[in-house]
Amino acid sequence: NAGVTQTPKFQVLKTGQSMTLQCAQDMNHEYMSWYRQDPGMGLRLIHYSVGAGITDQGEVPNGYNVSRSTTEDFPLRLLSAAPSQTSVYFCASSHRGPTYEQYFGPGTRLTVT
Amino acid sequence: QQPVQSPQAVILREGEDAVINCSSSKALYSVHWYRQKHGEAPVFLMILLKGGEQKGHEKISASFNEKKQQSSLYLTASQLSYSGTYFCGTEIPGANNLFFGTGTRLTVIP
């Protein structure tokens, strides 16, 4: 079991560029989510999905898009990167939902200049 | 809706005890604790459900007082491996996600 994997580990973007952060899990978990972690802010939920074809917004969804075409994959798209999106991004999965044990990926450190 | 954690940081010598608190202004269904080592992903420690039960594994335990909307994490006889940032996540009625605190940075020194 690889658990939750994320690519890339590091990324530098220029303002206005778009990109996709990849997330995959091999535990057959229904629930997947994206968090961003900023210094002094803790983890904040961006988007989540309760199953293939179903996604919803979290606390800080603006500027991000998600889709869930398979149980395994949950990519996060930055539509037009802004310096305020400089952060560490974590993908997580859980068997049933956020109120069960969540398994986090290793994170993607994104810098927008 | 974000819970408040205290202290923000604590330094311990090996073998000392520590308590980390998590407090919410909202009624809670459950409290979750995670630990994150520097440069790594958060790792699940435990969930506490309504009922005030105390849970634990090894020398790390926690309690949940639903009336006070508070949870405390207890680390006894700390080890170097306990160093990291501890986050609480709170589940409130009507929300389909956890709200995480800003973390408590724990450093254990020899």
Percent of chain A exceeding pLDDT 90 equals: 88
Question: What Å distances lie between residue B18 and B11, B46, B102, CA to CA?
Answer: 9, 17, 18
Give mean pLDDT, residues A18-34.
96
pLDDT tens-digit map of A40-89: 888 999 999 999 999 999 999 999 999 999 999 999 999 999 999 999 99
Give mean pLDDT, residues B63-89.
93
Q: What is the pLDDT of residue B36?
A: 95
Mean pLDDT of the residues in chain B = 90
Percent of chain B exceeding pLDDT 70 equals: 93
pLDDT tens-digit map of B20-58: 999 999 888 899 999 999 989 999 999 998 775 666 666
SS3 assignment for B37-53: CCCCCEEEEEEEECCCC
> Does residue B25 or residue B95 have the better pLDDT?
B25
Tokens, residue B61: 């335990």
**Cα B11–Cα A42–Cα B16 angle in degrees, nearest 5:** 20
pLDDT interval class at B97 (50, 70, 90):
confident
* Strand boundaries in chain B, DSSP class E: 4-6, 9-13, 18-23, 30-36, 42-49, 55-57, 60-65, 70-75, 84-91, 98-100, 104-109
**Which residue, A27, A39, A37, A42, is CA-closest to A74?**
A27
Give mean pLDDT, residues A32-45.
92
- How close A39 gets to chain B, by Cα (Å)? 8
Of B30, B43, B97, the CB nearest to A45: B97
Closest-CA residue of A relative to B85 is A42
Of A42, A101, A106, the CB nearest to B103: A42
Of B41, B87, B91, the CB nearest to A105: B41
Percent of chain B exceeding pLDDT 90 equals: 68
Q: Residue A106 and residue B40: Cβ atoms within 8 Å? A: yes
- How close A21 gets to chain B, by Cα (Å)? 16
Q: What is the pLDDT of residue A96?
A: 82
Q: What is the pLDDT of residue A97?
A: 81
